[in-house]
Structure 1
Amino acid sequence: MTANTDFEVIIIGGSYAGLSAALALGRSLRKVLVIDSEKPCNIQTPHSHNFLTQDGQTPAAISTLAKKQVKKYGTVAFFQGIATRGIKMGEGFEITTDKQKKFTARKLIFATGIKDVLPPIKGFAECWGISAIHCPYCHGYEFKGKPTGILANGERGFHLASLVHNLTNNVTLLTNGKADFTKEQIAKLNRHKIEIIEKVLTEVEHEMGKINQVVFDDGTKKGLDALYAALPFVQHSEIPDSLGCELTEQGYIKVSAMQETNIEGVFACGDNTNMMRSVANAVYSGNLTGAVVNGKLTVEKF
């Protein structure tokens, strides 16, 4: 908890992107507040991969170490809570939290991530992040050679199938209804012996989040060790939209190469801005955002 209410920068979201931005700003002696709910979207994920020096580490361990390192910089403060409202005020912004605390700052950084919209399939939520997974780069190696399903259709399903087939020859496409592939795509899938099942998926049978098999609406079952799912998502925070930040066609916050939104003084980084959903990308984009925001503040005050 912090007694101060006025800062140079408020960072909403204290996971990898937010902490990376805070580190860059803290090292430049900027007065920064990080508002974090401490409820990361990867809370069920057992291990993080594809991040140099941290491969195989738990997400919580990476975050704990990162926060410990950021806290060494005395100008960075933390507030545990959820930012619920943001308004433009003169040359800055006011943020209200779920605890009715209000904070002001000249610049805002949204590192709030996205929220997956899980399908209403029994057992799916319990497996999400463990054996029901979203990314071959993050999770694929651990399921190499294993019976693997892909819950997706059309172009997205075909793309995932091509990536996953490089990791295992035992791939099944679960289209959850009528398949939507071109003749050329079907020919390629057949050539690689990738089965297409058009039945509706009703249940994921598992033990402590580890899939045993999936069940279809006709009662038949398919044994799987892993299930990739291309899920829809929404922005985790509604504040960027309320401030007028533009979104891309895919639903990400639209930013420039310097992580700037279309609203002056508002920046975004991490999973909420692009589909590269990895710890490494979040850390990179947060670091860049922190440097850019520091540069903006320097120009304004120097």
Structure 2
Amino acid sequence: MNNIKSVFSVKDLENLSGVKAHTIRIWEKRYNLFSPIRDDNNIRSYNTDDLKKILNISYLNNFGYKISKIAKLTESEMVALTQQIYSEKTQASFAISNLKFAMFNFDAKLFHSTYDELEKSKSFEEIFYDVFIPLLDEIGFLWQTETLKPVHEHFISSLIRQKLFSEIEKAQKNVNFSNEEVYVLYLPMHEIHELGIMFVNYLLLRKNKHVIYLGESVPMEDLQEVIKYYNKITFLSYFTVQPEIDNLESYLFDFKNSILKREQDRFYILGKQVSDYHSQIPGIYTFSGIQAMLMTL
């Protein structure tokens, strides 16, 4: 393991493990599980070794092991026990814990070894749905609670992006589409959260669809060029933070008026920004999730 360390508050450990801060303090005092550093104001801080331990404790505790028994285990015994109860049923939660630890310790080797283990029994699509999407949801929560720093998110996102690029390349080599309908995938201006739309790209290619992937931060007027080349287009985008909620409807009306001039063209939208929005604009459709969107194809 590398020597890069991060510092965590007891609240951070709560957010990452699901174990209440009050419970962590009780376990710390009663079982001497952690040795936090205290500052001049007697505020505790924890390192990544403590994070790894609380993740393993939480994992074992969730599967019925009492804290009194867990506390008697050495670190190696604790790791061995987590591996012993590891099964296909618990694989995803175990992997998510490993990936969170890899993220906070900047441990690419642990990321890849965890992924390789998942790959033995799951397809890439299953890994993304069962592990990466829940992990990214947790990252969103950790961001909101200020447990997560941007550098950690960038690190784990870049590793997931590597896997997506690899799988997309394989799918592109095997696709055999017709030109009757084209899917144009893009993100709007200032939207840089690309993992979701990349996964949609992969899924469409696996379904033998003709995909034109334009990537992040695309000006709306640039889409007009694509219309010249194809008779029927489904535009597809993922609104995570852009456009802002106050500007959402005006963006969609602009899209309708400037891009969706032909009756046969459509616009499909996914993402947090449209989770509570139901479009009444002809040709524009919002979806609660990727699977709901795929059912319409």
What TM-score range do you get, normalising by the shorter chain? Answer: under 0.3
TM-score (normalizing by structure 1): 0.24
Higher helix proportion (structure 1 or 2): 2
TM-score (normalizing by structure 2): 0.24
* Larger RCO of the pair (alpha carbons < 8 Å, separation 6+): 1
Higher strand proportion (structure 1 or 2): 1
